[in-house]
Amino acid sequence: EGRDCNDLPIFMFLHGGAWGSGFPTMYRLLSVPFLKENYRTAIVGYRTYPDANIEGQVEDVAEAVHYLRERYPGNRPIVLMAHSSGAHVALTAALNG
């Protein structure tokens, strides 16, 4: 209660879907508990197969991180969370820097 959201981490969640399906809106309710605690949240989508392979999906995640950094400047961390194939994409993006 009363926390300044500018000092808190941003929670970024990537959807699952076997790399070829899935939508961010499927996971929208995940943000509710974080929002109630004044955390910024982003339920992020990425292009799925056949529109993009893993490299394209990782690029999409990198662009989302870049957007969040510009939208919410500062040094607060971005916490990556994900489900299923989204976890693979998130980990690959994190390892690629």
User: What pLDDT sits at residue 6?
Assistant: 72
**Against a cut of 0.75, is the pTM above it?**
yes
User: What pLDDT sits at residue 1?
Assistant: 52
- pLDDT at residue 5 is higher than 70: no
Burial readout 26-61 (b: 16 or more C-beta within 10 A, e: otherwise) = ebeebbeebeeeebbbbbbbbebeeebeeeebbebb
Angle at 28 between CA 85 and CA 71, to 5 degrees: 90
Q: Tell me the pLDDT tens digit for each residue of 49-86.
A: 999 999 999 999 999 999 999 999 888 899 999 999 99
